Chain A
Amino acid sequence: MQKRSIIPIVYILFLLLPIYWLVAMSFKTTNEILAGFSLFPQTFTWDNYRTIFTDPTWYWGYINSIIYVSINTVLSVLVALPAAYAFSRYRFLGDKHLFFWLLTNRMAPAAVFALPFFQLYSAVGLFDTHIAVALAHCLFNIPLAVWILEGFMSSVPKELDETAFVDGYSFPRFFTTIFIPSIKAGVGVAAFFCFMFSWVELLLAKTLTAVEAKPIAATMTKTASSAGYELGLLAAAGTLTIIPGAIVIYFVRNYIAKGFAMGRV
């Protein structure tokens, strides 16, 4: 048993090394980085972080990202809940085809959609808004949310529904006051996944925004090319993008294994 735990420890160290390097670099001055190799920051500095928190083009990048990710998460989970219930409880015309079609949207490379998305959202006048990115990310997040929630809902016995209806509950009341609380974990996991995939996606978010709703990731790529090669600043910005994910994952830590299995174990 003791010998075996070497493997996960080595694996976690391997995962943490590049992250350590990013964090270490964010506390170095650009001069120190370019001057040569140093394992720890020699002249420890907060300047990179100070720049990000005082320059609106930087911190608005984070705010924009958080706004569209939140809208997308709420929207995806809200519409996926009734749909997942339908798939887990009822048979209806074309249900299997519909379910499969939903999943195929996860298979389409985002690169395929970049240009048509730009034209579509420009045509409906939503270009460069948070709503546009939130709606576009629904393409891959809604199918995922439906898939996860369907897994969790199928493990709730049908007797729960039947008893509630016999007791005179209407469907909306049963659904919101009894059913959803009984799959709280599933809702949390689905929200986590929507947050995660919307947060890490860049190609569509970048294509659909220009100034007003520009995500942090786009601010970063622009800085990397325009302001020379400010590695320290880039590292600090990168480090800050890890934090929201780390906070969200903390809340679902107990369900995370089951969550990744989409409720199917």
Chain B
Amino acid sequence: MKTENQRAWLLVLPVLVLVAFNALIPMMTVVNYSVQETFGDNLFFWQGLDWYEQILRSERFHAALGRQFLFTGLILVIEVPLGIAIALSMPRQGLWVPVCLVLMALPMLIPWNVVGAMWNIFTLPDIGLLGYFLNHTLGINYDMTQDPLAAWITIVTMDVWHWTSLVVLLAYAGLVSIPDAYYQAAKIDGASNWAVFRFIQLPKMKTVLTIAILLRFMDSFNIYTEPFVLTGGGPGNSTTLLSIDLVKMALGQFDLGPAAAMSLIYFAITLGVSWLFYTLMTKDDLN
């Protein structure tokens, strides 16, 4: 059991100071912008909640939010089951285990803009490996700068390539922690593969899968660099996800007020959905 000790605050203090410096000051700046109007020259006028109302009613925001939920939904539906399936089929011990794990972790260590650039040259219709293969070997007309569907398939595939390994590694860590005795007991009872998965492996992976789903949700919901480098939000606005739209508004058009209001709404949605996921997934533990 943990002991009560208020002096523990001293141990936390350095972390608190550093994170607060980086989190609270910029956050207050954003809050400040979100309730004011500026015409440049550091002149600000009180605007109240107008920007919030404007964003919440804007078609553009609804469309970007819709695309963002579609993207994140697809990512979770594909990456989580795929990651679990790969983890289940990996060997539990032996020389190949570290080799597999290192190779699988490799995509996660590549800077995000390089990931975007890499997939860009990989999918160029006439000179990229994938683009050439699809267009010239299979004869499919594939060009993601023209076709919104192709652009969507490409950014989803890219994210699956980039992040499925996170789910694999987490699920695998959960699997190797299951003692052999559990499997022997299941064998004696004549349990089917499905029963072993449903009643032994899945419950044992629950904690790590919660972490995996939460991390994948947060990171895919906030994704910016990779799709921006790959498609630039196009063709048209078809792959303009929330962050891309936000940066367009804040830095491209310099609409600071609406952009700040949008930032805070965006943050609130991320926070709310994360909290919902977390509560739903840990509900059983409390009962």
Contact = CB atoms under 8 A, between A and B. Distances in A.
B218 interface: yes
B1 to A, nearest CB: 8
A34 B124 CA distance: 11
Nearest to B19: A142
Q: Is the interface of B mostly helix, strand, loop or mixed?
A: helix
Contacts of A127: none
Contacts of A90: 2-5, 8
B174 A36 contact: no
Contacts of A241: 110-111, 114
A86 B12 contact: yes
Interface stretch (A46-54, A106-114, A178-186): A106-114
A36 B132 CA distance: 10
Contact of B109 (A36, A106, A199): A199
B104 A245 contact: no
A111 B12 contact: no
Interface stretch (B50-58, B86-94, B141-149, B179-187): B86-94
A238 to B, nearest CB: 4
Contact of B161 (A18, A146, A254): A18
Interface residues of B, number: 91
Interface stretch (B59-67, B69-77, B265-273, B279-287): B265-273
Contact of B117 (A112, A238, A242, A250): A238
A138 B89 CA distance: 37
A83 B15 contact: yes
A66 to B, nearest CB: 12
Interface of B: 2-9, 11-12, 14-16, 18-19, 21-23, 25-27, 29-30, 85-86, 89-91, 98, 100-114, 117-119, 121-122, 126-130, 132, 136, 161, 164-166, 168-170, 172-174, 176-177, 207-208, 211, 218, 221-222, 224-225, 229, 242-243, 246-247, 250-251, 256, 263-264, 266-267, 270-271, 274
Interface of A: 1, 4-8, 11-12, 14-22, 25, 33-34, 36-37, 39, 75, 79-80, 82-83, 85-87, 89-93, 95, 98, 102, 104-117, 119-120, 135-136, 138-139, 142-143, 146, 196, 199-203, 216-217, 220-221, 224, 231, 234-235, 238, 241-242, 245-246, 248-250, 253-254, 256-258, 260-262, 264-265
In order of increasing CB-CB distance, the 10 nearest A-B pairs are A245-B109, A116-B26, A261-B173, A116-B29, A90-B8, A86-B11, A86-B8, A109-B222, A260-B169, A82-B11
